[in-house]
């Protein structure tokens, strides 16, 4: 649990991010500061609004949300 306390994001928070890279499973990778956020279906170079769904010690997973939801 200590790792979750040091993560710079929390479940439910929303951000506008750029997909900077692609993971080995094809997920988009964005960063909040230096913290990695995996974004399923994110495309390289795309700017998207996301909502944090799950937070781990070294990364988070987020879903894309529509502009009017952010």
Q: How many domains does the chain have?
A: 1
Kindly state the helix (H) or strand (E) to which residue 38 belongs, with its residue range: strand 35-39
Alpha helices in 1-70 (DSSP H): 2-6
Q: Tens digit of pLDDT for each residue in 32-68? A: 999 999 999 999 999 999 999 999 989 999 999 987 6
Bridge partners of residue 65, in order along the sequence:
49
pTM of the predicted model, to two decimals? 0.85
Cα 19 to its chain centre, rounded Å, is 9
Domain of residue 10, CATH code: 2.40.50.140
Q: Domain limits at 53?
A: 2-69
């Amino acid at each position: 649990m200590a790792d979750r306390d040091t993560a710079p994001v929390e479940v439910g928070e929303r951000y506008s991010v750029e997909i900077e890279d692609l993971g080995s499973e094809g997920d988009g990778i964005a960063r909040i500061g230096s913290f990695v956020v995996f974004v399923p279906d994110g495309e390289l170079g795309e700017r998207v609004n996301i909502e944090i769904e799950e937070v781990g010690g070294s990364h988070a997973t987020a879903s894309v949300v529509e502009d009017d939801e952010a």
